[in-house]
């Protein structure tokens, strides 16, 4: 008598639940587990992990300035004096400045943060289990919402079937078992699935947080993959870990902070539900562990950080923003960091 309702409930719940479990497993997967690097993580990797793609772009820019290959004027104009890049991110920065070798710093930083070279840093960190990919996080969040709706529909179907059974029992003296138990079983299993796929609000995994804590503990950290004076290396290390607030040059610090406010300062958590355009995956800051040096899109937009998450996979391996919709950074941004975030 009520088999039709339970069949409908199963048709709704089972496929959605399977898709949710598969997406959650994909989010948690660590393709290239390498363990923690201790204090040996590179400058740009550290900047991206601690503050998102915009901080990685700032770290590359300040590194070139420290080495005398870039000049940042008081009005924010970036001038490239040495067009020979040391890595792919510097190549993206030089390309962003253009053939004239002079361009407004806000546009340069935004384009560098959205570049394929910086985006790849986030992908590599996610593959190592230090961050969670925001596009996969967003998929899990959306499937959880859909799965929740199927559970609500199951509850409604259960109420309807039980009411129908009660009516028939009263009118016809039917003494069969009430249909409430199969629906309750489906709901219980559904709640277990929801709990098991609940995402963490930080885009940095437990392994990533441990990595950052190793670098922040003890003596001030400096990047071992950069050549330069000790004072300059310590400045770059502080910038990567904590953001531009620690720059000793007050004029440069005020300039970079003002430029951040001009392009918008992202939140640290939550899914704004908006999307990005293009091929950029990472938007926003790195969540609760990130700094304020992230923004993306045009001067009227900003990116939030990711609300999705996943757990860790072992002692050092766990897997990996959403942007406001008017002219922003990349495609799979959902709650975490990625474009000039």
What pTM was computed for the model?
0.73
Q: Give a three-class secondary structure readout of 70-108.
A: EEECCCCEEEECCCCCCCHHHHHHHHHHCCCCEEEHHHH
Query: How is residue 198 annotated by DSSP?
Result: P
Per-residue pLDDT tens digits for 283-311: 765 554 433 333 443 333 333 333 333 33
Per-residue pLDDT tens digits for 77-125: 999 999 999 999 999 999 999 999 999 888 898 899 999 999 999 999 9
Strands 102-104 and 303-304: unpaired
In sequence order, what are the residues at sequence separation of 6 or more whose Cβ sits closer than 8 angstroms to the Cβ of residue 60? 44, 89, 90, 93, 112
Q: Domain coordinates of the chain in residue numbers?
A: 3-30+135-196, 43-132+204-323
Q: How many of the other CB atoms lie within 10 Å of CB of 294?
A: 39
CA distance 272 to 177: 46
Query: Cα dist. 237→59, 117, 182 in Å?
Result: 9, 20, 58
Per-residue confidence at 341, pLDDT binned at 50, 70, 90?
very low
The pLDDT assigned to 166 comes to: 73
Supply 46's token pair.
């550290």
CA distance 307 to 69: 38
Greater confidence (279 vs 163) lies with 163
Give the rounded distance of the alpha carbon of 217 from its chain centre: 24
Span of 92-106, 142-156, 206-220, 255-269 with lowest mean pLDDT: 255-269
Residue 9 has pLDDT above 50, yes or no: yes
Q: How many of the other CB atoms lie within 10 Å of CB of 293?
A: 32
Greater confidence (339 vs 156) lies with 156
Is the distance from CB of 111 to CB of 96 less than 8 angstroms? yes
Per-residue pLDDT tens digits for 167-191: 665 555 555 667 788 899 999 999 9
Q: How many of the other CB atoms lie within 10 Å of CB of 209?
A: 18
Burial of 270 from C-beta contacts in 10 A (0-12 / 13-18 / 19+) = middle
Q: What percent of the chain has a predicted confidence (pLDDT) above 70?
A: 72
């Amino acid at each position: 008598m009520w088999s039709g309702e339970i069949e409908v409930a199963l048709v709704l719940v089972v496929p959605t639940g399977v898709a949710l479990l598969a997406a959650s497993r994909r989010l948690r997967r660590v393709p290239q587990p390498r363990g923690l690097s201790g204090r040996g993580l590179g400058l740009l990797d550290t900047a991206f992990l601690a503050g998102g793609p915009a901080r990685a772009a700032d770290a590359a820019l300040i590194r070139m300035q420290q080495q005398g290959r870039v000049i940042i004027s008081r009005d924010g104009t970036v001038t490239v004096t040495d067009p020979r890049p040391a890595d792919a991110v510097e190549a993206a920065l030089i390309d962003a400045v253009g053939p004239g070798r002079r361009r407004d710093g806000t546009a340069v930083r935004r384009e560098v943060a959205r570049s394929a070279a910086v985006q790849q840093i986030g992908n590599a960190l996610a593959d190592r289990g230090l961050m969670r990919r925001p596009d996969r996080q967003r998929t899990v969040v959306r499937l959880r919402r859909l799965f929740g709706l199927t559970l609500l529909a199951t509850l409604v179907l259960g109420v309807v079937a039980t009411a129908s059974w009660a009516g028939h029992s009263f009118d016809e003296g039917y003494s069969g078992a009430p249909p409430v138990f199969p629906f309750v079983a489906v709901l219980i299993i559904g709640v277990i699935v929801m709990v098991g796929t609940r995402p963490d609000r930080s885009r940095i995994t437990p392994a990533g947080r441990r990595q950052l804590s190793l670098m922040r503990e003890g003596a001030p950290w400096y990047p071992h993959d950069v050549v330069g004076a000790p004072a300059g290396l310590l400045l770059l290390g502080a910038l990567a870990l904590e953001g531009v607030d620690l720059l000793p040059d007050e004029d440069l610090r005020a300039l970079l902070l003002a430029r951040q406010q001009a392009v918008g300062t992202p939140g640290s958590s939550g899914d704004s539900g908006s999307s990005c355009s293009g091929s950029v995956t990472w938007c926003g800051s790195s969540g609760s562990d990130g700094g304020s040096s992230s923004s993306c899109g045009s001067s009227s937009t900003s990116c939030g950080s990711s609300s999705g998450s996943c757990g860790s996979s072992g002692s050092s391996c766990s897997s990996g923003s959403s942007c406001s919709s008017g002219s922003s950074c990349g495609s799979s941004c959902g709650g975490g960091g990625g474009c000039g975030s």
